[in-house]
Amino acid sequence: MQGLLPILPYWTAHQRTHAVPPPPPHDLPLPDSVKKLLFDLFPIILFFIAYQVAQSHPQAASDALTGLGIHLTATQKPGVFIATLVAIAATFAQIGWLKLRGRTIDTMLWVSLVLIVVFGSATLIFHNETFIKWKPTVLYWVFALSLALAPRLSGRNLIRLMMQGQLELPDPVWARLNQMWALFFTGMGLANAWVANTFDTDTWVNFKLFGTLGLMLVFVLAQGLYLSRHMKETT
Amino acid making up residue 114: V
Residues 85 and 140 in one domain: no
In a domain, 115, yes or no: no
- Asked if the model's pLDDT at residue 9 lies above 70, the reply is no
Domain boundaries, position 169: 129-235
| Dist. CA 22–CA 95, nearest whole Å | 35
In a domain, 15, yes or no: no
Could you report the per-residue pLDDT of 47-64, keeping only the tens digit for each? 999 999 999 999 999 999
Could you report the per-residue pLDDT of 160-189, keeping only the tens digit for each? 888 777 777 788 888 898 999 999 999 999
- Asked if the model's pLDDT at residue 235 lies above 50, the reply is no
Name the residue among 121, 117, 120, 127 with its Cα closest to residue 71.
127
Residues 102 and 150 in one domain: no
Total domains in the chain come to 2
Q: How confident is the model at residue 110 (pLDDT cuts 50, 70, 90)?
A: very high
Instruction: Say what the pTM is.
Output: 0.82
In a domain, 217, yes or no: yes
CB-CB contact of 8 with 220 (8 Å): yes
Residues 179 and 94 in one domain: no
In a domain, 181, yes or no: yes
Could you report the per-residue pLDDT of 68-80, keeping only the tens digit for each? 999 999 889 999 9
CB-CB contact of 119 with 151 (8 Å): no
In a domain, 119, yes or no: no
In a domain, 8, yes or no: no
Residues 160 and 101 in one domain: no
Q: Helices 79-100 and 130-153 sit at what angle, rounded to 10 degrees?
A: 40
Residues 103 and 134 in one domain: no
